[in-house]
Amino acid sequence: MAIEVKNISYTYPGSTVTAVENVSMKIEKGERVAIIGQNGAGKSTTVKLMNNIYKPTSGEIIIDGINTKNQTTAQTAPHVGYVFQNPFNQITGARDTVYGEIAYGLENFGVPVAEIKTRVEKIMEITNTTYLQEKNPFELSGGQQQRVALASVLVLEPDILVIDEPTSQLDPQETERVFEIIKTMKQMGKTIILVEHKMELVAEYCDEVVVLHQGKVIRHGDKHDVLSEIELEKFGIMLPLTVYLANELKKHGVRMKDNIITSDEMADQLQKIGKKE
What pLDDT sits at residue 62? 96
What pLDDT sits at residue 63? 94
What pLDDT sits at residue 36? 97
pLDDT tens, residue order, the chain (277 aa): 799 999 999 999 999 999 999 999 999 999 999 999 999 999 999 999 999 999 999 999 999 899 999 899 988 988 999 998 888 888 888 899 999 999 999 998 899 999 999 999 999 999 999 999 999 999 999 889 999 999 999 999 999 999 998 888 788 888 888 899 999 999 999 999 999 999 999 999 999 999 999 999 999 999 999 999 999 999 999 999 999 999 999 898 888 889 999 999 999 998 888 776 5
What pLDDT sits at residue 276? 65
Task: Catalogue the long-range contacts made by 72-80 (C-beta closer than 8 Å, 24 or more residues apart).
Answer: 76/51, 76/52, 77/156, 77/158, 78/109, 78/156, 78/158, 79/158, 79/159, 79/160, 80/50, 80/51, 80/52, 80/158, 80/160, 80/161, 80/162
What pLDDT sits at residue 277? 58
User: End-to-end distance of the chain based on CA atoms, in angstroms?
Assistant: 47
What pLDDT sits at residue 94? 87
> In whole angstroms, what is the distance from residue 203 CA to residue 242 CA?
10
What pLDDT sits at residue 90? 86
DSSP result, the chain: --EEEEEEEEE-TT--SEEEEEEEEEE-TT-EEEEE-STTSSHHHHHHHHTTSS--SEEEEEETTEEGGG--HHHHTTTEEEE-SSGGGT---SSSSHHHHHHHHHHHTT--HHHHHHHHHHHHHHTT-GGGTTS-GGGS-HHHHHHHHHHHHHTT--SEEEEE-TTTT--HHHHHHHHHHHHHHHHTT-EEEEE-S-HHHHHHH-SEEEEEETTEEEEEEEHHHHHT-GGGGGGTPPPPHHHHHHHHHHHTT----TT--SHHHHHHHHHHHHHH-
What pLDDT sits at residue 142? 87
